[in-house]
Structure 1
Amino acid sequence: MKCKSNNNVVYSCKYHVVFCPKYRRPVLVDGVDERLKEIALEVADEMGFDIIEMEAMPGHVHMLLEAGPQLGIHRAVKRIKGRTSHGLRAELPWPRTRIPVLRASSHFVSTVGGAPLAVVRQCIENQKSV
């Protein structure tokens, strides 16, 4: 197991995160999914956490994140969801016409302590074939 560190903490905190567009509408298609990934990676760089794996399906997004305990996973997910929703709706006109708000307020987070990292990564990679 590889650990990361900052000035105060040595950690290995990996999370499986799933979130959906409002009403789980299939709006993450036709390039929207790729732009969502780009925006999420920008947020990760700004806030100092890593997105290990990410897959956007038409109605939901799976991510495998590694974030420090001082950052807090809720803060990272909130920023990703907010920035992607705002950015996609500003750049692309058709998501605005489909639904008034792109993101739902809830999300699912699970720590990846019990499953081997390779298994979770493979699960997220194989979402498209399900």
Structure 2
Amino acid sequence: MRASAGAAYDLGYRVVWCPTYRCPAFGGRVKDRFKELIRAEAGEHGWEVVALGVMPGQLRLFVKPCPTNSPSSMAGRLKGFTSHHLRAEFGHLRSRLPALWPRPCRVATAGAVPAETVRRSIETQDERPSTGGGGA
């Protein structure tokens, strides 16, 4: 539970998005830098990153934001910030993709599921066999 002036809250969003054309661009240094950028931008806004899963063609995040941030604006800020920096730092992303992220992403509340369960699900996603559905 977190608190601010006049409110106590426990929000948790699970955010999933894919690179343009599901291009497997997130390995090695790009993956490490992406994680740094997500944590930096989240920290700047006071959002707690509980779990971050990066697979070559899909990114999953479990974050606890402030109640003043809508899920779509939070996802938009993260996508914009990471796209700007990654494309500036890694030229192959600029030359292979017209845009790093397409517009859509999936955001869902964690609901009554404990944060630890969601964190474990995201962190072990690459250990499970792929279902081919691309969902969260």
Superposition TM-score tier, normalisation by shorter sequence = over 0.9
Match of 2:80 in 1: 82
1:29-54 Cα deviation digits (max 9, x unpaired): 12111101101111011111111110
Shift of 1:116: 2.4
| Alignment of structure 1 residues 85-124 onto 2, 5 Å | 85-124=83-122
Shift of 1:96: 1.1
Q: TM-score, normalised by structure 2?
A: 0.89
Match of 1:42 in 2: 40
Unmatched tracts of structure 2, length 5 or more: 129-136
Distance in 2 (alpha carbons) for counterparts of 1:98 and 1:74: 26
Q: TM-score, normalised by structure 1?
A: 0.93
Cα RMSD of the aligned pairs, angstroms, is 1.1
Match of 2:6 in 1: 8
Match of 2:61 in 1: 63
User: What code does the residue aligned with 1:125 have?
Assistant: E
1:47–1:76: 8 Å Cα contact kept in structure 2? no
Q: How many residues align?
A: 128
Q: SS at 1:105's partner residue?
A: coil
1:39-86 Cα deviation digits (max 9, x unpaired): 111101111111111011001111110012112222211111001011
Distance in 2 (alpha carbons) for counterparts of 1:106 and 1:128: 22
Shift of 1:117: 2.0
Unmatched tracts of structure 1, length 5 or more: none
User: What code does the residue aligned with 2:35 have?
Assistant: K
Distance in 2 (alpha carbons) for counterparts of 1:66 and 1:117: 9
Match of 1:73 in 2: 71
State which drifts further: 10-19 or 22-31.
Answer: 22-31
User: What code does the residue aligned with 2:33 have?
Assistant: R
Q: SS at 2:124's partner residue?
A: helix
- 4+ residue segments displaced more than 3 Å: none
User: What percentage of residue pairs aligned between the two structures are identical?
Assistant: 34
